[in-house]
Structures are given as C-alpha cells and as structure tokens.
Amino acid sequence: MLTQDPQPTAHTPAAWGFTASTGQPFTHQSIVDAHFDACREPYRGLLNQVGIQPGMHVLDAGCCGGHFLPWLAELAGPHGRVSAVDLAPEHAARAAARVRSAHLACPVDVRQGDITSLPYEDGSFDAVWCSNTVQVLTDDELRFSLAELRRVTRPGGLIAVKDVDAHAFAVRPGDPFLFSDLFRAAAKSPGYLRQVLRNRELYVWMRKAGIGNVRQRTVSIEHFAPFTGEVHAYYGPAFAELAEQAMKLGLTSPSWVALREPAHPRSPFNHPDGYVSEGNVLAVGTA
C-alpha cells in the first residue's frame, strides 16, 4: 500500500471509506481482516498455484497485517525464509506482531517500506507475492512497482500478483446490471474503481514491465445464503461503501438503496436466495 511515489502523479482519488494511514480506500485493518476471513479458502488455493518451493526466499510485497505470512512460511519450509514489507506503519507493526506470536515454519522479517522503491538489493528473492495491493495504485505507481518486483527477484524467480477483479462482482436478488453501470460510470475518470477494473489486464502490465512467461487466471469467489458471519462482516460494509459511491455518481437503482443499508428488508443479505460474488485475478511470471 503506498503513497510515497518516487515520481508523484496528478491523481486525486474520490473520498472513500476504510482508509489506513496512507489514505488508500479499503486498506484499513478492519476491512482487510474481514475480507481475508471471508475469502480464506480461495485465497489459499490461489497462493498454492504460484509454485513457491521449499528453501526459497520469498517476499510478501504489500503484506498488510501479515495474513499470508504463515502460509508463505509453510511453503518456504524450514530451509527457506520470508520477508515482508508494507507502507503503512500500523500494518507493518501488526505483521511483525503476528510473526512474534506464532511458531512459523521458517524465519520471517517484516519492515515498513514502499513497493515503488523496495528496500532490498537486486535479485534478493526467489519469489515475490503481492496480494490485494495493486488495486490502490495509479497507473504510474503500478509501473514503478512491477519494475521493483522484477528488480528484487533473481533471474528466473517467480513474481505473482493477486488482486480483485471487479468484473465478477454480483449480488442477487438485485439489478443484474448494477455493477456494470457503476463501473462504466466510474471508469470515465482516473480513480480507485477504474484501477480495480484494470486488474483483468495484469498480464499485459507485467509483460510490459519485462516479466516473462506470464500466465493468468481469474476465479469467482461465490457465497450463498445463509451467509456466514464472515461474509456479512465483509460484504455488508464493502458493498454499502460501493452503494454510497454509486449514489454520489447519480445512480438511482433501488438495489443501491438496499445495499447501502445491509439491514434493509430488500438487501440480498436478508434474502433466503441471497448471493454475492467477486473475482480474483492471479498473474504469475518470471524475472
């Protein structure tokens, strides 16, 4: 998560909720924790597809509170090592506390730093994992960050980027064009929602950054009523925030009113046939 761009761009995001100290939307620990809890199993499945092997030195770039660190340490094994970095001081502190309180499978070190200017030497890592971070980057910041991921990865090492794919957002019951209308309206100008849509083209951005052999897949993460507490805890507030942004853009579908108030009788969270989904993109290449 970053704001300290080495070449600042003219980019003024709309006012969003759930910001961490860095100011990016959907980066506060409350919403990040809830998202991880709601999507834990598919997240683990995507990580397992990267190809991280025992003995590797792995970087978690944009580690937030360190949710992936136990899994990364398990994959690296007792002869491997994991490093982690996040721009937000509070995230780096939470990740470091997680490491101290857990018996992880290998050594793990955490520091505060900017992924557009990583505090590591060239070729330091066998693999890099970057999850749910590029969605908050401007186009220029994304270019700088991918170049940095490539720089700190040894030749032939793995670079994996996982992030949300907004094309797969859906709620039922509800207007089937709800999110299509929102993203079409929002994508007319730079900002967070256009960046979330950009994730479907990660393979192109990675190739342009000089990352080779890029393979990409998108998975749909689906939840059906009756929803678990974890699903309510994330998608209720998250979709309420999207509804708030939609209404600021002048979108008036009754479905937005229902989503803005999770306790609303017409909310999909209160319907026996309720359904919510999101997409996740995983793009993996080599330095």
Choice among 6-15, 46-55, 200-209, 227-236 with the minimum mean pLDDT: 6-15
**How far, in Å, are 26, 101, 154, 262 from residue 111 at the CA level?**
21, 16, 20, 37
Spatial contact of 92 and 112, defined as CB atoms under 8 Å apart? yes
Q: Determine how β-strand 212-224 pairs with β-strand 81-86.
A: unpaired
Q: What was the pLDDT predicted at 173?
A: 94
Helix (H) or strand (E) holding 227: none
**How far, in Å, are 17, 137, 203, 262, 273 from residue 243 at the CA level?**
12, 22, 30, 11, 21
Collapse the DSSP code of 224 into the 3-class scheme (helix H, G, I; strand E, B; otherwise coil) and give the result: strand
Spatial contact of 64 and 40, defined as CB atoms under 8 Å apart? no
Q: What was the pLDDT predicted at 1?
A: 36
Spatial contact of 104 and 69, defined as CB atoms under 8 Å apart? yes
User: 83 versus 187: which is more confidently predicted?
Assistant: 83
pLDDT band at 160 (very low <50, low <70, confident <90, very high): very high
pLDDT tens, residue by residue, 231-259: 999 999 999 999 999 999 999 999 999 99
pTM check: above 0.85: yes
CATH fit for domain 29-165+190-222+279-286, picks 3.40.50.150, 1.10.760.10, 1.20.1530.20, 3.40.718.10 = 3.40.50.150
Q: Determine how β-strand 275-286 pairs with β-strand 153-172.
A: antiparallel
Calculate the CA 244 to chain-centre distance.
21
Q: Determine how β-strand 275-286 pairs with β-strand 212-224.
A: antiparallel
Instruction: Check whether 273 has a pLDDT greater than 80.
Output: yes
Residues 6+ apart with CB under 8 A from 252: none
